[in-house]
Amino acid sequence: MIQPRLSKSRFCTGLQCVRQLWWRVREPDAPELVSPPDLQAVFDRGHRIGELAQAAFPGGVLIEAEHWDVAKMCKATSAALASGTPAIFEASFSVDGLFSAIDVLERLEAGFALVEVKSTFSVKPQFIPDVAIQVHVAKAAGIDVRRAEVMHLVRDRNCAAGEERFARVDVSAEVEAFLAQVPAQIARMREALTGDLPLVEPGAHCEAPYECPFMARCHLPKGALLN
Ligand code: SF4
């Protein structure tokens, strides 16, 4: 069986629950995965915030391609890196069956800073593995990542309508601490994806850090077989 590519979002899902990951990968057209209109609005806002954040990196270049065209995204990223551009938005790397598109890859005097943009008002714990898998992929692709950051919103009443203020928080130490477990987590997820639907007992992880869309499939009467 061909190994499915592990993206950042798949990695984060697998951390929460490999059973949920299995369904997301094996049943991408599952009705549970159709975004309700209110969730789509959240995605749209996140996209808009990402675009506003790019203004903080003058001279940056956006990697534009269809999200499924990984080869084109990676090729454009290589070209942007070679051109010496000060920042790359959606910098894309595919290596060892892993894929990551980085919100902002900022060129430093030495090496690069990897910046993950979030439409929240603080750094949440679940952002650390999210950033760590991106650092792992970027480093595997040969990028000299010197710093990892989360760039989030700041409440500011003086902001005009349509404008946003951001804070950049250095999370390098937290990410570095998490990086050690990334290879083992990837191996665990790959093993789960090669077999039958994994058995995972429902629990607190079904709702945190994100609510699982498959709860109706799992939350059977006590003692019932999970599949
Ligand atoms: S409901 Fe819970 S156990 Fe079932 S797939 Fe979702 S996270 Fe996993």
pLDDT in tens, 96-113: 999 999 999 999 999 999
- With the C-alpha atoms ordered 120, 121, 126, 127, is the resulting torsion angle positive or negative? positive
227 occurs within a structural domain = no
H helices of the chain, in order, are: 8-16, 18-26, 37-53, 70-83, 127-140, 172-179, 182-194, 215-218
In a domain? residue 184: yes
In this prediction, residues 29-33 reach a mean pLDDT of 94
20 lines ligand 1 (CB under 6 A): yes
Residues 7, 31: Cα–Cα separation, whole Å: 21
Mean residue pLDDT of the chain comes to: 92
Smallest Cα–Cα separation from 90: which of 47, 139, 39, 120? Answer: 47
Ligand 1 centroid – CA 20 distance (Å): 5
Compare 44 and 1 and report the one with higher pLDDT: 44
Q: What percent of the chain has pLDDT over 70?
A: 96
- Residue closest via CA to ligand 1's atom 2 equals 206
Read off the pLDDT of each residue in 172-198 and give the average, rounded to a whole number.
Answer: 97
pLDDT at 36: 77
* Residue 224, in any domain of the structure: no
Burial code of 73-101, b = ≥16 C-beta within 10 A, e = fewer? bbebbeebbeeebebbbbbbbbeeebbbb
- CATH number reported for the structural domain that contains residue 118 in this entry: 3.90.320
In a domain, 94, yes or no: yes
Residue 203 alpha carbon, nearest atom of ligand 1: 2
Please tell me if the CB atom of residue 199 comes closer than 6 angstroms to any atom of ligand 1: no
Looking at residue 8, its pLDDT comes to 96
pLDDT (mean) for 193-204: 94
Q: Is pLDDT above 90 for 39?
A: no
Identify the DSSP state of 101: E
Taking the centre of ligand 1 as the mean of its atom positions, its distance from the CA of residue 202, in whole angstroms, is 6
Inside any domain, residue 1: no
Inside any domain, residue 125: yes
Query: What domain range is 14 assigned to?
Result: 6-218
Query: What is the C-alpha end-to-end distance of the chain, expressed in Å?
Result: 22
Kindly report the number of other CB atoms within 10 A of residue 226's CB atom: 14
Q: Is residue 225 part of a domain?
A: no
* For range 178-202, the mean pLDDT: 96
- Range in 24-33, 59-68, 81-90 the model is least confident about: 59-68
Report pLDDT digits (tens) over 206-227: 999 999 999 999 975 544 545 5
**Is the predicted pLDDT of residue 145 greater than 60, yes or no?**
yes
Q: Indicate whether residue 13 lines ligand 1 (CB < 6 A).
A: no
Q: Give pTM, 2 decimals.
A: 0.91
Q: How far apart are CA 92 and CA 221, in angstroms?
A: 44
Answer with the residue of higher pLDDT: 222 or 131.
131
Total structural domains in the chain?
A: 1
